[in-house]
Structure 1
Amino acid sequence: MAMNRPPLSFITLSFHSVLLFGVGCLCESVPGMYVLGDSLVDIGNNNYLPLALAKANLPYNGVDFPTGIATGRFSNGKNTADFLAEKVGVPSPPPYLSLPSIFGKLSSSNAMVTGVSFASGGAGILNVTEELFIQSISLTKQVGYYSLVHEQLVQQLGSDEAQAHLSKSLFVVVIGSNDLFNYFNKNSKASKEYTPQQFVDLMVSTLKGLLKRLHGLGSRKFVITGVASIGCCPAQRKDSATGDCNVEINTWSMKYNDGLKALLHELKTELSDIHYSYCETYDVLNNLVQHPETYGILEIKKACCGCGSNLKAEFPCTPISTYCSNRKNHLFWDLYHPTEHTSSLFADSIYSGSQQMTFPMNVEQLVNV
């Protein structure tokens, strides 16, 4: 008796789908994750920038990473991007600058299908952050790099399948802190050219243009974080005799976030096929600062790894630094960045946070749209 067989085209498509999307419901929902941003989610791009001042390729960074060595993450272990990738069922996206190329052009890479990280320590929405960090990959340049990845995906998968793949993928955007750090730096050129409100408005309008460009290159699902209460990091607290947060920079972080939320609402009105999850990381960090004991945190002011008697925030984490024995009870790893434990808490809020913290939906809901 002859068996009914599916047509060859169906078999080929099904096999291709397994290769492309993987096995299991999570991977089918999120075939890839593309990360744009700064040092909060950089997983090693700055290792490839010879002039970059913001690097995390030396101990004691990575002391709690599975390999036990520094990877370029500004953390004692994993960062928020790593934890979010785990939650949605994809590998941590590799650094863009680590991808193989031939004669300056990207060569075919399966890694690009499951995602790429363009994030760079010191990066900003605007290009002004290079005043502080000499060399980084600005958001504009990151989007430019993504356009090359998009081109390669179209060549690998074909136009229709590439668009289907990207429409289900997540585009994670974590940026803005360095723009504000730079503006409020005492030697800032930007503060001489713009009022704080003008500068924040410029950040918002520039970001809107870049998000629209990503949409034009297939992006449909965005995960976007606001700027946290960055005035409460050790580098900002050390300038206060009592170790208080920098109120001015926190105020303008909130004003930027207000502009960002308005931008996202406008974007959804203009481009109805966009879906997004916005996380109010300002409130997330504030909650950790105000109720640290709820999360097993004992130290909210001092860096775990660093140098100097003033909150260990005079220099970054390097081999000549000292570091705390229990990283889980510190809010901050170094003078700017959270510990691995804190990053995991951020990722929890982004992925499954309540509507007070993530709206109009969290990432767990976004993947099912």
Structure 2
Amino acid sequence: MATAMNIPPLSFIISSFLCVLLFGARCLCESVPGMYVLGDSIVDVGNNNYLPLALAKANLHYNGIDFPTGIATGRFSNGKNIADFLAEKMGLPSPPPYLSLVSIFKKLSSSNAMVSGVSFASGGAGILNEMEELFWQSISFTKQVGYYSLVHEQLVQQLGSDEAQAHLSKSLFVVIIGSNDLFNYFNKNSKSSKEYTPQQFVDLMVSTLKGHLKRLYELGSRKFVITGVVSIGCCPAQRKDSSTGDCNAEINTWSMKYNDGLKALLHELKTELSDIHYSYCETYDVLNNLVQHPETYEFTEIKEACCGCGSTLKAEFPCTPISTYCLNRENHLFWDLYHPTEHTSSVFADSIYSGSQQITFPMNVEKLVNA
């Protein structure tokens, strides 16, 4: 029969448990010391708040209604977005907006925040620079890469060249972009559609992105997390133009064509630059699965925006304080006319991080961490 002397005290058990948790988190942070995010409104955490003329902003209530602070932060969501959830999985703080680290003199602060990651993502951004003009102000992908080059300089000064390279080679570079370019091309007043066939346009998107990814490689990036464009024709803004609320099949077709080009590009990059590692997530299939089998994740509304205005799917105007919003955000696929709810973003983040080889290849992020 065991005596009291053989039973570890409760304080020891609790301490040991906490050590395991802390040690595990520390190890993950050592494996992924930083996360650098480039992209559009799907992962914007507030950069556009610092652009006085930007049309695409999410700094008004009811955005952020389910965020821990309960206030709008510049995220196009009722709460957290994909970038927030991925950072949590890495044991990292959510990367702050790049523009929040820049002083009024346009100089980067020496904040340690840059070591654990920075977000350059901007609502309205596209792979092609014309998106910046369309939204008056947004941070184009070209400019985002340029801003990262300044962060790279700062890290070299702060850590030294060798340590900065070691740090960046283990960090994750999350790239989620492309939807806005396609939205713009298929807009009725698009100049691009007069200059390019759809195939020429998606080829231009792919070749332009390749140049940017190679530039990121030159600046120390080695591990990329890249998603395809989702079935954007199924968002409320596209469905509202159909009398039956159907998805826009044409724009979905070209989203898939772009994704095919993106996958080929990543394969080429890996051939050209053998020390690159990447995880690609076919988020098109993830969203399609949610649309076709919403009950799997307890969604009951897949067409209408939770927050918005208008008699058709609440998709006539963005989410603002004069909008109406749904009380149960958990059961809505879309937060506003374009963007996912926090619940949907968490499903995307889970798929990106630990998805099967059917949707993430050549590996998911969980495996990329140790590649």
Q: TM-score, normalised by structure 1?
A: 0.93
Q: Distance in 2 between matches of 1:172 and 1:103?
A: 28
Partner of residue 89, structure 1: 91
% identical aligned pairs: 90
Q: Which of 183, 196, 199 is the equivalent residue of 2:198?
A: 196
Q: SS at the partner of 1:78?
A: coil
Partner of 2:48: 46
- 1:98 partner SS: helix
In 2, are the aligned partners of 1:100 and 1:109 still within 8 Å (CA)? no
CA gap 1:131/1:184 in 2 versus in 1, 3 angstroms:
farther
Superposition deviation, residue 23 in structure 1: 6.5
Partner SS state of residue 118, structure 2: coil
1:1-369 pair list within 5 angstroms:
24-101=26-103, 103-369=105-371
Residue segments in structure 2 that go unaligned for 5+ positions in a row: 1-22
Aligned-residue RMSD, C-alpha: 1.2
- What are the superposed Cα offsets for residues 116-153 of structure 1, whole Å, 9 maximum, x if unpaired? 00000000000122353221000000000000000000
The separation in 2 between residues aligned to 1:200 and 1:247, in whole angstroms, is 16
Of stretches 338-347 and 129-138 in structure 1, the one that deviates more from structure 2 is: 129-138
Give the distance between the partners of 1:160 and 1:338, measured in 2 at CA.
40
1:17-38: per-residue Cα shift (whole Å, max 9, x none)? xxxx996111011000000000
Cα-to-partner distance string for 1:178-226 (whole Å, 9 max, x where unaligned): 0000000001111111111100000000000000000000000000000
Aligned with 1:105: secondary structure? coil
What is the identity, as a one-letter code, of the residue corresponding to 1:174? I
Amino acid at match of 1:126: L
Q: CA deviation at 1:101?
A: 3.1
The 1-side partners of 2:105 and 2:339 are apart by 36
> What is the SS of the residue equivalent to 2:358?
coil
**Following the alignment from structure 1 to structure 2, what is the Cα–Cα distance between the partners of residues 103 and 50?**
16
Which aligned runs of 4 or more in structure 1 are off by greater than 4 angstroms?
none
Q: Under a length normalisation based on structure 2, what TM-score does the superposition of the two structures give?
A: 0.93
- Matched residue count: 349
Q: CA shift at 1:104, angstroms? A: 2.4
Q: Secondary structure at the match of 2:74?
A: coil
Provide the rounded CA distance (Å) in 1 between the counterparts of 2:34 and 2:183: 31
Instruction: Tell me which moved more, 186-195 or 99-108.
Output: 99-108
1:131·1:182 contact (CA, 8 Å) conserved in 2? no
CA–CA distance in 1 between the matches of 2:169 and 2:98? 20
- 2:114/2:155 contact within 8 Å kept: yes
Which amino acid is the alignment partner of residue 320 of structure 2?
A: T
Q: Where does structure 1 lack aligned partners over 5 or more consecutive residues?
A: 1-20
Question: Amino acid of the residue matched to residue 263 of structure 2?
Answer: K
